[in-house]
Amino acid sequence: MSEGRHVLVTGAASGIGAAVVASFAADGWTVTGVDLREAPLRASLEGLAATPIVADLAEPDAPERVVRRAWESGGPLDALVNAAGIYPARPFLDLDAALWDRVQAVNVRAPMLAVRAYAALAVAAGRPGSVVNISSGAALRARPGAAHYSTSKAALEMLTRAAAVELGGAGIRVNAVSPGFVTVDSTANPVTEEYAAAVSVNPLGRRGRPEDIAAAVRWLVSPAAEWVTGTILRVDGGASAGTTALPAHWPGLTDVQTPGLDHEGAHL
């Protein structure tokens, strides 16, 4: 158990963020949960040792304001989990500056500002800490309608590495978890079943659960990972290793490919 320890989780109203909140709370942590949607946030935190903060993290001053409020009202933070993110579908030729900017603001700028604010408080207090950012397989593989999202997650992974390099000397570890397709039934970021089926094929043969990602987050924050920083942990059923969705490209060998034959097919 981890009584007396305090974590701030953004995107806490549903999906991965809600599972992360439940995992920390079950282990005795005090949790501050942040989300834009008040009713779902309160429902997610009901019955847990958790305090809700409603905020739009796309507002430039919101991430620092939220971190400071959590620190002052719930006690010094031991960990920060940036799980908030948006995934609007928009074809590249229809993508405009306003939507691009909002995706980058929520998915990249907000985590950067939150980590900066948290690290400043932790350094001033002489406390070590841990940050976990939630990335995506989209950081490695582009997909139709997601140029803004894929770019934001690729940037978040580099932000994770950069912050790890600069904050390691202060005892602050910064890592990321990159989920494969996780079934979250999100009303904030809905996807069609056709899309889910296309992106959820993986060697382990099942879709991810929010609890799979929460377990990885908890490990990265735990003492067991005290020498781990700047890492992007792929929790995707093996999807980033390769695909099982393709057949063998050819059923047999050609003469040129056959061992023990010369170029005319005669045995050497």
**Residue 95, domain CATH:** 3.40.50.720
Rounded CA gap, 71 and 145, in Å?
38
For residue 251, tell me if it sits in a domain.
Answer: no
- Positive or negative CA dihedral for 70, 74, 76, 80? negative
Q: pTM of the prediction?
A: 0.92
pLDDT for the residue numbered 258: 86
For residue 72, tell me if it sits in a domain.
Answer: yes
Asked whether the beta carbons of 201 and 236 are under 8 A apart, the reply is: no
Domain that holds residue 34: 6-235
Residue closest to 42 by CA, chosen among 4, 14, 65: 14
Residue closest to 236 by CA, chosen among 211, 265, 200: 200
For residue 197, tell me if it sits in a domain.
Answer: yes
For residue 249, tell me if it sits in a domain.
Answer: no
The pLDDT tens digits along the chain (268 residues) read 566 899 999 999 999 999 999 999 999 999 999 999 999 999 999 999 899 999 999 999 999 999 999 999 999 999 999 999 999 999 999 999 999 999 999 999 999 999 999 999 999 999 999 999 999 999 999 999 999 999 999 999 999 999 999 999 999 999 999 999 888 766 777 777 776 776 778 888 888 899 999 999 999 999 999 999 999 999 998 999 988 888 888 888 888 888 876 655 555 4
Question: Residue 37: what residue type?
Answer: R
For residue 245, tell me if it sits in a domain.
Answer: no
| 118 in catalytic set | no
Q: How deeply is 222 buried, as exposed, middle or buried, from its count of CB atoms within 10 A (0-12, 13-18, 19+)?
A: middle
Catalytic residue among 87, 118, 149, 195: 149
For residue 160, tell me if it sits in a domain.
Answer: yes
Looking at the DSSP assignment, which residues form a beta bridge with residue 267?
Answer: 261
Q: How many domains does the chain have?
A: 1
For residue 210, tell me if it sits in a domain.
Answer: yes
Q: How many Å separate Cα 122 from the centre of its chain?
A: 22
pLDDT for the residue numbered 200: 74
For residue 102, tell me if it sits in a domain.
Answer: yes
Looking up tokens 């806490």 gives 12
pLDDT for the residue numbered 247: 82
Rounded CA gap, 75 and 155, in Å?
31
